Amino acid sequence: MKLFAELYQALDATTKTKEKLRALVSYFQQSPPQDAAWAVFFLLGRRPRLALSWPKLRAWACKAAAIPDWLFDECYHAVGDLAETIALVLPEHRSTDVEPLHHWIETQLLSLAKLDDSGQREVLEQAWAGLNQMERFVWNKLITGAFRVGVSHQLVTRALAQVANLPAGVVAHRLMGHWQPTAAFYQSLIEPETADTALSRPFPFFLAHPLEDPVESLGDVALWQAEWKWDGIRAQFIRRQGQVFLWSRGEELVTERFPEIAESALWLPDGTVLDGEILPWKDGHVLPFAQLQRRIGRKNLSARMLAAVPVVFLAFDILERTGEDVRAMPLHERRAWLEELIQAAHVDRLILAPKLTVGRTFLSDQTDKNVHPTSSASSWEELARLREESRARGVEGLMLKRLDSAYGVGRQRGAWWKWKINPFTMDAVLIYAQRGSGKRASIYTDYTFGVWDEGKLVPVAKAYSGLTDEEIRQVDRFVRQNSLEKFGPVRAVPPVHVFELAFEGIGFSTRHKSGVAVRFPRIARWRKDKKPEEADTLATLRKLIPDTPKGRELY
Amino acid sequence: MALLELTEAGLYCPAGDFHIDPWQPTPRAVITHAHADHARPGCGSYLAAAPGILILRVRLGPDASIQSLPYGETVALDRVRLSLHPAGHILGSAQVRLESDGEVWVVSGDYKRQHDATCSAFEPVRCHTFVTESTFGLPIYRWPNPDEVFSDINSWWRDNQEAGRTSILLGYTLGKAQRLLAGVDASLGPIYVHGAVERINEAYRQAGVSLPSTPIASDQPRRTPWDKALIVAPPSVVGSPWLRKFGDLSMAMASGWMQIRGTRRRQAVDRGFVLSDHADWPGLLQTIHETGAERVLVTHGYSAALARYLGGQGLSAEVLPTRFEGERLETSRDTVEE
């Protein structure tokens, strides 16, 4: 545990990628494979099943620290993190720990699920008593399933690649899919490159950066392929040796959740991997994402649900063709293969992502006219106009991909861009504030905003992000000096400050007091120039809701 | 009878007709220490502990009427006998002991129980009523041994030297900066300071505190090799152009707030060292116990929590709402005292 706690500390202590990489490499080089496997497991955000509840942990920590419950809660509010609060309230010890990480995980942590309360308590008290503050913190993070430290998937991959002396893409590929954190797995992760590919293993997803510069900066429009940006579940669809796997971008195997898509794989040749989007789809149109969410949560899909929210796999790329990795081939070639493949399959749950034909490179439109109305654009301006239709079409904007681009690994700049539509905005008044957690503990950073309705402010959105540190300090001071009433950790404040909120979608809702719900609200800027009376009204918000069945059934 | 009352201007002693650390100008002010939330300008005359007089002069200007009193000496002010006792917070920081008709009150000001080479150690004073601060009045605040902290600071400095990075160490101008300078291993390399720190350093040196030599960073020629140097500066330099000339740097902050990971990360510094000039939770409890006080008045900080906890321990404890600043963080751009 000692080495792993030191790794955590080193990663936590710096914001510099280079130093994080150095810390990771040094950890992997020093650790036994079984430890390294668990470290990879946790660093990538995976977690074992846990059986410890907040109240139990709190009660045992209070006993061990000899403090009353209410004082623990005060501490928690100041710290904003359960694992850290427990680590800090317990009296400081010298560490007596000599056990490797896998021992802590395999014989302690994994045993917790099988023990009764008193057994769990015994394991925890012993652990706390033998660890120093930092080790205790990391241990608490592991047992509460909240282990997170600022390293990206990509950085862990790079570190392992460096340790194994392999291209990062090979390691990334080996890290995909199902694996168990064992010494054997770690060995296979860093062993020299071989031809074998685990049967179910997907490729690392290639991700696009948001386009921030003017679109003209991308140069000649003829060098680009434009597609709609769909709001579904990004997934890879794999058919190898007669078996079918559907992987979400969260690396979850979702084959069984979407049986109708899995069935359509029968019409695909063996050795095929497609990249695309799982979308709720009816009568040739996409349904709102919220419809898909109704299905995602269910273990057993009723026939009624399957009929109410049918899904399709909308393919936009091919990564493996007749058993061969074709990611390095240019996009226009992959696209041609993809079109050929989808047309040959000719199955209604597997459709081709329409391409917006750009410029004069492609004279004819190649998308399937039955699937989606097609469009053509001869210049960036024309594309920009098409993008304005996004909302009406139920998409988030456009994707721009260089025709000569390979299918890369992770989020890289330059080849693929997402060009989302501008968000909706509203001016709303700050009415409640709450202290944040983690990095924002003990500062009022979580805000509720209201708009006017019949002379009163009704809450319509909560937002946590968008202000500068200096602005957060100003709001924090305002909240501290002007709290009207307290509801638990929430402070009501006088309606003085107006903020412009940006959001992605809006619909009617029966679950919200205001009757409307907004999607992804965040603070665009502080409108110090506006008085609260100038904020928007609920009636204006309602007018933003698209007057279509789609808009009405949202959220 | 209450020896102190809370008035618009601050803590007032009616039997002696003076205020302690008033936040508005008053005719007579007894000052616990020279931090800005305790020593405000504009009072008719000031009384403070002798070792801190020079610093108070820097703070209040040449025209202020300031009288000094050695630690432990008693003066009579009307019906009150007053004496000042070391609080261990910064140079010249004092607890104010008030006695009238056999009743004893002690106002602690800010205090700490850890070793500090730049000021006299805290002395517990027996009293009936103890007025305590509570800046770090929660059990999550337990300070590591300062020797270990300084050894961490020294190794951070050495690591930076090896990596060719300038070491910038942030700490409050008055008190913390001098404690840092006196505590680091000055043989490791050159030490420079921000101009605001050097003004206070001079007052410390005149008062007989030994500090390493600390040239002002901005007075140095442009081509000074900074990468072996340690530079001590106030937290307000974060994000300012003053930092530009130092090239590749590592920034660390020394503060009790660095105990909390979220706070440490929010300051956007590379390292946080847990070093405070306030008492931690065990220090507060130990001190309250040692005063033998049956009544405790808790001011700035986690006052409600500490008062409630003491109540649960059988003491009579209440919150005394003052305008001293307890809950601020050091890098808010305002003057923040620690």
Using a CB–CB cut-off of 8 Å, the residues of B that contact A are 138-142, 144, 259-263, 265-266, 268, 270-271, 302, 305, 308-309, 312, 327, 332-333
Could you tell me if residue B292 is left (phi over 0), alpha (psi between -120 and 50 degrees) or otherwise beta?
Answer: left
Residues A228, A355: Cα–Cα separation, whole Å: 8
pLDDT at site B238: 85
Please give the pLDDT value at position B337.
Answer: 35
Question: Cβ A81–B332 below 8 Å, yes or no?
Answer: no
Q: CB–CB of B61/B55 below 8 Å?
A: no
User: Which 8-state DSSP code applies to residue A504?
Assistant: S
Closest approach of B242 to chain A, Cα-based (Å): 19
Domain boundaries, chain A: 2-143, 206-420, 424-553
pLDDT digits (tens, 9 = 90+) for B16-36: 999 999 999 999 999 999 998
At B62, is the secondary structure helix, strand, or coil? coil
Taking CA–CA distances from B303, the nearest residue in chain A reads A74
Strand partners, A441: A436
Q: Is A210 helix (H, G, I), strand (E, B) or coil?
A: strand
Output the six-digit token pair for A495. Answer: 């309606």
Q: How high is the pLDDT of residue A301?
A: 82
Query: A449 in helix, strand or coil?
Result: strand
pLDDT digits (tens, 9 = 90+) for B65-88: 999 999 999 999 999 999 999 999
C-beta separation of A36 from A164 below 8 A: no
Neighbours of A121 (CB within 10 A): 17
Question: Average pLDDT, stretch A328-338?
Answer: 96
Q: What's the mean pLDDT in A106-130?
A: 91
CB within 8 Å: B260 and A79: yes
More confidently predicted of A476 and A545:
A476
Here the tokens at position A398 are: 């456009």
Are β-strands A285-286 and B28-30 bridged in parallel, bridged antiparallel, or unpaired? unpaired
- Reply yes or no on whether the pLDDT at A95 is more than 90: no
- The residues, any chain, with a CB within 8 Å of residue B329's CB and separated by 6 or more, are B257, B263, B267, B336
Q: Let me know: does B217 contact B256? Beta carbons within 8 Å.
A: no
Using DSSP, state whether A430 is helix, strand or coil: strand
Q: Strand, coil or helix: what is A306?
A: helix
Distances (CA, A) of A386 to A394, A502, A545: 13, 22, 20
Of B303 and A256, the one with more pLDDT: B303
Chain B residues touching A473 at Cβ < 8 A? 332-333
Mean pLDDT across chain A: 86
Mean pLDDT for A377-386 is 79
How far apart CA B295 and CA B310 sit, in angstroms, is: 10
3-state secondary structure of A484: coil
What does the block give as tokens for B53?
């007089």
The residue of chain A with its CA nearest to that of B144 is A92
At A547, the pLDDT band (50, 70, 90 cuts) reads low
Cβ-contact A518, A460 below 8 angstroms: yes
Q: B143: pLDDT confidence band, cut at 50, 70 and 90?
A: very high
A502 bridge partner residues: A425, A522
Give the distance from residue A116's alpha carbon to the nearest chain B alpha carbon, in angstroms: 29
Locate the chain B residue with the closest alpha carbon to A473: B332
DSSP letter, residue B322: -
Verify whether the Cβ–Cβ distance B270 to A438 is below 8 Å: no
Q: Which of A133, A115, A110, A122 is nearest to A60 (CA)?
A: A122
CA angle B239, B200, B324 (to 5 degrees): 75
- Based on the residue annotation, tell me whether A229 is a catalytic residue of this protein: yes
d(CA A245, CA B111): 65
Confidence bin at A358 (pLDDT 50/70/90): low
- Residue B24 burial by CB count (10 A; 0-12/13-18/19+): exposed, middle or buried? middle
Banded pLDDT at A335 (limits 50, 70, 90): very high
Full-model pTM: 0.70
For the domain spanning A2-143, the CATH number is 1.10.3260.10
* Residue A405 zone, left/alpha/beta (φ > 0; ψ -120 to 50; rest): beta
B262·A473 Cβ contact <8 A: no
From chain B, pick out residues whose CB is under 8 angstroms from the CB of A92.
Answer: 142, 144
pLDDT at B150: 98
Q: Which residues does chain B have within 8 Å of residue A465's beta carbon, measured at their own beta carbons?
A: none
Helix or strand run (H / E) with residue B85: strand B80-86
Contact check, Cβ <8 Å, A15/B263: no
Q: Residue A300: how many CB atoms within 10 A of its CB?
A: 5
For residue B293, what pLDDT is reported? 96
pLDDT at B105 over 70: yes
Give the CA radius of gyration of chain A: 26
Catalytic residue among A20, A229, A355, A550: A229
How many C-beta atoms surround the C-beta of residue B157 within 10 A? 22
Through-space distance between the first and last CA atoms of chain B, rounded to whole angstroms: 33
| Contact criterion met (CB below 8 Å) for A402 and A331 | yes
Q: Among all residues of chain A, which has the CA nearest to that of B312?
A: A68
Residue-by-residue DSSP string for A512-538? STTSEEEES-EEEEE-TT--GGGS-BH
> Residues B56, B31: contact at Cβ < 8 Å?
yes
**Tokens for A240?**
């190898």
**pLDDT-based confidence at residue A148 (cuts at 50, 70, 90):** confident
Question: What one-character DSSP code corresponds to residue A231?
Answer: -
- According to the 3-state scheme, what is the secondary structure of A171-204? HHHHHCCCCCCCHHHHHHHHCCCCCCCCCCCCCC
What are B302's two structure tokens?
């986690």
Q: Residue B331 pLDDT > 60, yes or no?
A: no
Q: What span, in angstroms and rounded, lies between the C-alpha atoms of A183 and A39?
A: 11
A413 pLDDT tier (thresholds 50, 70, 90): confident
pLDDT of A249 > 50? The answer is yes
Q: What is the mean pLDDT of residues A457-481?
A: 87
User: What is the average pLDDT across A170-178?
Assistant: 81
Confidence class of residue A431 from pLDDT cuts 50, 70 and 90?
very high
The C-alpha atoms of residue B307 and residue B319 are separated, in whole angstroms, by 6
Residue type, B183: G
Dist. CA A308–CA B254, nearest whole Å:
60
A439 touches chain B (CB under 8 A): yes
CA distance linking residue A270 with residue A242, whole number of Å: 6
SS3 A429: strand
Distance CA A90, CA A136 (A): 9
* Torsion, CA A94, CA A99, CA A105, CA A106, rounded to 10: -150
Name the CATH code of domain A424-553 (choices 2.120.10.70, 3.40.50.300, 2.40.50.140, 1.10.10.10).
2.40.50.140
pLDDT tens per residue, range A149-169: 888 888 999 999 999 998 877
Interchain contact, A442 vs B263, CB within 8 Å: yes
pLDDT band at B298 (very low <50, low <70, confident <90, very high): very high
- Of A5-9, A187-191, A287-291, B128-132, the range with the highest mean pLDDT is B128-132
Distance (Å, rounded) from C-alpha A205 to C-alpha A9?
30
CA B32 to chain CA centroid, nearest Å? 10
Residues 460-499 of A with CB under 8 A from B: 469-470, 473, 480
Class of domain A206-420: alpha beta
- Asked whether the beta carbons of A394 and A231 are under 8 A apart, the reply is yes
Question: CA A372 to CA A393: how far, in whole Å?
Answer: 10
pLDDT in tens, B196-244: 999 999 999 999 999 999 999 999 998 889 999 999 999 989 888 898 8
Full set of structural domains in chain B with CATH: 5-141+277-319 (3.60.15.10), 146-273 (3.40.50.10890)
Q: What is the DSSP string of A460-480?
A: EEEE-----HHHHHHHHHHHH
First to last CA, chain A: 45
Residue A57 vs residues A24, A74, A280, B309: alpha-carbon distances, Å? 30, 16, 41, 21
Please report, as a single letter, which amino acid is at residue A5. Answer: A
A156 and A7 Cβ atoms separated by less than 8 Å: no
A355 has which bridge partners?
A227
Q: Which residue of A has its CA nearest to B259?
A: A88
Greatest CA separation for chain B: 66
